[in-house]
Amino acid sequence: MSSTASSRPPTLDEVAARAKVSRTVASRVINNGPHVSRAKRDAVQKAIRELGFTPNRAARTLATRQTGVVVLAVSGDGPGVFADPFFGQIIVGACTALEKTDLHLVLSLATTGHGQQRLETFLQTRGADGVMLVALRGDDPLIDIATRSGLPTVFIGLPMRETPPFYVEVDNAGGARAATEHLLRGGRRRIAMITGPDDTAVGRERRRGYAEALTLAGLGPYATEPGDFMEAGGAAAMRALLSSHPDLDAVIAANDNMAAGALRVLRDAGRSVPGDVAVMGFDDLPIAMHTDPKLTTVRQPVQALGREATRMLIELLDGERPEPFILPTNVVVRDSA
């Protein structure tokens, strides 16, 4: 048979179809590019052998230049943000996901105008292949910086703006609701909350879960005091609550750091925990095991946030379109409530 189809060389698209991968992935394998899983690399190489595909110079020029770098960009109040165990766990999770790839992780703390400009220049000049954003506040400039770069972007936690296409989130409202219900089952009725910053989606969602649980119990929110996710902020909020609502019998802090600060203030005020006041946190970070008493809290899978967001970014770099998802939470009962 002398048909053109039988005599022409196989194409890159046919290799991709035979291997059941995207054209981008097939191109990366052919050009020995980074961040391709072993299974996909093997499938493409098998398809190349079966089809007798031979890459040429023109095909090679179609390959996208890759740097082998992904960025984890953090909005925070200063370099001390990386001392927060939450971010340490995020980084551990991200590094775990990158362990079997050729990608390297670069951390960027972009809190000042200069820091944001440096990040934008780095992304615009294609210093990285993709970016992950975490700890976003309000109308965060990092969102526009990532958008203008045109790079694949994954959000760790939802921003205050519209919902992005690629994100990993925790069931924040559900966790706070479960914490409040735990206190209600224990007979607590005057339950206050030390909330997270109001310009963060996580702060608002945890406050919403607290309010929903009390409303469903026929009580309505008792008292809230804003916090900043730091231990000192939790202590200041606890002092304010004791002053305005001295008869409170429980408090939920929107994270473990603030709960630790609240415990210290209650002890100094002569309030026993959990006898006089039950205390709950949120996160289940290592600090929860070192407070006195040990902290009852809501466990969120922090390492999994970093790990799954990184896996999602790797899939985007492989030409796939992963589905966003929300990780579950659960109450961990210890001594404080």
% of the chain surpassing 90 pLDDT: 55
Q: What is the pLDDT of residues 108-133, one digit of tens each?
A: 887 777 878 888 888 888 788 899 99
User: In the prediction, which pLDDT does 63 show?
Assistant: 46
pLDDT grade, residue 4 (50/70/90)? very low
Residue range 94-120: average pLDDT?
86
User: Does residue 26 sit in the same domain as residue 97?
Assistant: no
Q: What is the pLDDT of residues 178-209, one digit of tens each?
A: 999 999 999 999 999 999 988 889 999 999 99
User: Does residue 205 sit in the same domain as residue 97?
Assistant: no
User: In the prediction, which pLDDT does 59 show?
Assistant: 41
User: Does residue 183 sit in the same domain as residue 234?
Assistant: yes
**Whether the model pTM is above 0.85:** no
User: Does residue 200 sit in the same domain as residue 232?
Assistant: yes
Residue 332 lies in a domain: no
Q: The domain spanning residue 137 has which CATH number?
A: 3.40.50.2300
Residue 275 lies in a domain: yes
Q: The domain spanning residue 52 has which CATH number?
A: 1.10.260.40
Instruction: Identify which has the larger pLDDT, 238 or 228.
Output: 238
Inform me whether the pLDDT recorded for 83 exceeds 70.
no
User: Does residue 189 sit in the same domain as residue 283?
Assistant: yes
- Answer for the pair 326, 156: CB distance below 8 angstroms, yes or no: no
- Closest to 331 measured CA to CA, from 106, 179, 120, 147: 179
Residue 96 lies in a domain: yes
User: Does residue 206 sit in the same domain as residue 291?
Assistant: yes
Number of domains composing the chain: 3
Residue 14 lies in a domain: yes
pLDDT grade, residue 64 (50/70/90)? very low
128 is in which domain, residue-wise?
Answer: 69-170+302-327
% of the chain surpassing 70 pLDDT: 90
User: In the prediction, which pLDDT does 12 show?
Assistant: 79
Residue 333 lies in a domain: no
Token pair 């070192």: residue: 290
Residue 307 lies in a domain: yes
User: Does residue 81 sit in the same domain as residue 113?
Assistant: yes
Where does a domain end: 61, 82, 104? 61
The neighbouring-strand residues paired with 134 are 74, 156
User: In the prediction, which pLDDT does 33 show?
Assistant: 66
User: Does residue 162 sit in the same domain as residue 198?
Assistant: no
User: Does residue 314 sit in the same domain as residue 272?
Assistant: no
Q: What is the pLDDT of residues 270-294, one digit of tens each?
A: 999 999 999 999 999 899 999 999 9
Where does a domain end: 32, 61, 90? 61
Residue 224 lies in a domain: yes
User: Does residue 286 sit in the same domain as residue 322?
Assistant: no
User: Does residue 149 sit in the same domain as residue 241?
Assistant: no
- Closest to 237 measured CA to CA, from 225, 249, 246, 247: 225
DSSP characters over 25-49: HHHHHHTT-SS--HHHHHHHHHHHH
Residue 209 lies in a domain: yes
Residue range 131-150: average pLDDT?
88
CA distance linking residue 270 with residue 243, whole number of Å: 14
330 token code pair:
């659960």
Q: What is the mean pLDDT of the chain?
A: 87
User: Does residue 287 sit in the same domain as residue 309?
Assistant: no
Query: Positive or negative, the Cα torsion across 183, 185, 191, 194?
Result: positive
Q: What is the pLDDT of residues 25-34, one digit of tens each?
A: 887 787 666 6
User: In the prediction, which pLDDT does 7 show?
Assistant: 61
